[in-house]
């Protein structure tokens, strides 16, 4: 391919931005990104004065007894309740929401992904990789991994991945020219990535060890200049986390760890198995070409670049796998996303070296088949997400059409799929018979019309709860109305 990889970047960016513009998921919020959307709205409602929850039903439920989300998504610090995600990305979205409207939820993701592609291109140019393999890297990263799926939602991964990748780029630049200002920039951008995803600390650790592994004699200078860039902004992050959420690592860390205080060895093996080989989110199932990296590393020549990149990926990969509190419970192995760009760079670097030594057509066909397999699974993943959101849209429209001011769910799972309604109606949860009776009495005193979910606990017993004394009407199998 003689044309510039910049053209490929332009085409890929145009394609995904067009998909975002035609995004079938717009206006439908669910799970994590639905909660972040609520954070954005709460920041705006408070006129940027607080990150605490601006509860629409506070007059009915001042103690948050019936709040529709619970641990690990809800935490209390002092007298205030918070959604537990770090507030920094929702704050960035809130700042631009008036300018970009509904596209504010994806503007940072689109920009970050574009610059990540530019970064992959520049990085590979520094490695003196031929244009053909740069094109392969750009296509692999964009279409043979699931990371671009997150561009369609409100999520902090794209910006965090870009920042850690930029940090790694400056770390490698130091390897090339031994200019210590690059280590300061490595520390700076690495620290910024932690404002959005804490697991990036393991990639920072892997990068630092990799630099020292190649330049053992410069331990003191390398450590000093890296910390000059890293420490100030890292300490500011710890202070902000403590000031906002009462813990230096943030509320999300506290609630997740207290939910999973001890992980047995068997549980750790199960997490790693699901993270890497799970049929729904496994790394090597979705992007099989990553599995070739150790094979190619073994089969190719040794070099300083190979040693740096391989050590970085290996240490970071092992640290994440053996410390992650769970498999992520997402459509992708998201905890490993920070390694995707550098892993693609390492893969292509090794692939070019391998083909220079083994030019047999068999290997080329095999590699192409693996690429096609990875692309197929990425496309399949996107289609599954689209089908899920079609069902979510149907569910939310049915909720919206219910003639009631208050929606009562009886499990905490249902509101995670109905966050649109949270902004339009009063949404509450009563997960026991006693709480349901108590809530209904409150609503009756307020003379509010309400609907109770037909799913979850006590479905068959609802008509028999004499204390409620309600007339029942079934509607679309979704709700029993009173």
Supply the Cα-derived Rg of the chain in whole angstroms.
25
d(CA 27, CA 471): 33
What phi and psi, each to the nearest 5 degrees, are found at residue 209? -65, -35
Asked whether 231 and 190 are in contact (CB, 8 A), the reply is: no
d(CA 288, CA 286): 6
d(CA 121, CA 112): 14
The 3-state DSSP class for residue 149 equals helix
CATH of the domain at 423: 3.40.50
Asked whether 338 and 147 are in contact (CB, 8 A), the reply is: no
- Beta bridge pairs of residue 80: 77
Domain count, the chain: 1
pTM, rounded to two decimals: 0.90
Range of the domain at 428: 392-481
Asked whether 410 and 455 are in contact (CB, 8 A), the reply is: yes
Q: With respect to residue 473, please indicate whether it lies within any of the assigned structural domains.
A: yes
* Per-residue pLDDT tens listing for the chain (482 residues): 678 999 999 999 999 888 887 765 666 777 788 899 999 999 999 999 999 999 988 988 999 999 999 888 888 888 899 998 899 999 999 999 988 887 888 889 999 999 999 999 999 999 999 999 999 999 999 998 888 888 878 889 999 999 999 999 999 999 888 899 999 999 999 999 999 999 999 999 999 999 998 888 788 899 999 999 999 999 999 999 999 988 898 888 777 666 555 567 788 888 889 889 887 778 888 888 899 899 888 888 888 889 999 999 999 999 999 988 777 677 778 889 999 999 999 999 999 988 888 877 888 888 889 889 888 888 887 787 777 777 777 777 778 888 888 888 888 888 888 888 888 888 999 888 888 888 888 888 888 888 887 655 445 555 555 555 544 444 443 444 54
Q: With respect to residue 201, please indicate whether it lies within any of the assigned structural domains.
A: no
């Amino acid at each position: 391919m003689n044309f510039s990889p910049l053209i490929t970047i332009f085409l890929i960016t145009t394609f995904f931005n067009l998909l975002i513009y035609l995004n079938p998921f717009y206006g439908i919020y669910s799970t994590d990104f639905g909660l972040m959307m609520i954070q954005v709205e709460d920041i705006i409602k408070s006129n940027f004065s607080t990150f605490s929850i601006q509860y629409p039903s506070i007059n009915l439920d001042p103690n948050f007894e019936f709040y529709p989300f619970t641990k690990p998504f809800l935490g209390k610090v002092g007298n205030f309740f918070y959604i537990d995600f770090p507030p920094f990305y929702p704050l960035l979205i809130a700042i631009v929401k008036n300018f970009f409207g509904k596209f504010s939820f994806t503007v940072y993701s689109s920009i970050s992904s574009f610059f990540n592609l530019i970064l992959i291109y520049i990085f590979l140019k520094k490695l003196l990789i031929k244009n053909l393999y740069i094109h392969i890297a750009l296509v692999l990263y964009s279409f043979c991994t699931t990371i671009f799926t997150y561009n369609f939602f409100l999520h902090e991964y794209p910006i965090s991945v870009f920042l850690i990748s930029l940090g790694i780029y400056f770390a490698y630049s130091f390897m090339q020219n031994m200019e210590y200002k690059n280590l300061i920039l490595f520390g700076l951008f690495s620290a910024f990535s932690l404002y959005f995803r804490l697991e990036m600390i393991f990639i920072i650790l892997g990068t630092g060890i990799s630099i020292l592994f190649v330049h053992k004699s410069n331990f003191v200078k390398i450590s000093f200049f890296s910390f000059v860039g890293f420490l100030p902004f890292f300490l500011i992050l710890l202070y902000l986390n403590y000031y906002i959420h009462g813990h230096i690592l943030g509320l999300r860390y506290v609630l997740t760890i207290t939910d999973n205080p001890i992980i047995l060895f068997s549980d750790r093996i199960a997490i790693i198995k699901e993270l890497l080989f799970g049929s729904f989110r496994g790394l090597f199932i979705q992007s099989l070409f990553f599995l070739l990296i150790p094979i190619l590393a073994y089969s190719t020549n040794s070099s300083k670049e190979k040693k740096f990149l391989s050590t970085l990926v290996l240490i970071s990969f092992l640290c994440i796998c053996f410390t992650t509190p769970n498999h992520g419970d997402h459509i992708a192995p998201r905890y490993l996303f920070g390694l995707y760009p550098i892993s693609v760079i390492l893969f292509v670097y090794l692939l070019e070296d391998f083909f220079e030594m083994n030019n047999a057509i068999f290997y080329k066909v095999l590699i192409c088949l693996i690429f096609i397999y990875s692309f197929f699974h990425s496309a399949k993943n996107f289609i599954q997400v689209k089908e899920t959101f079609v069902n979510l849209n149907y569910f939310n429209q049915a909720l919206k059409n219910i003639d009631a001011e208050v929606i009562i769910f009886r499990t905490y799972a249902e509101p995670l799929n109905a966050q649109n309604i949270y902004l339009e109606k009063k949404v509450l949860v009563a997960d026991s018979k006693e709480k349901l009776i108590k809530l209904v009495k409150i609503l009756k005193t307020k003379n509010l019309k309400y609907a109770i979910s037909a799913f979850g606990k006590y479905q068959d017993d609802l008509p028999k709860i004499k204390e409620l004394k309600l007339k029942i009407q079934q509607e679309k199998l979704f709700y029993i109305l009173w």
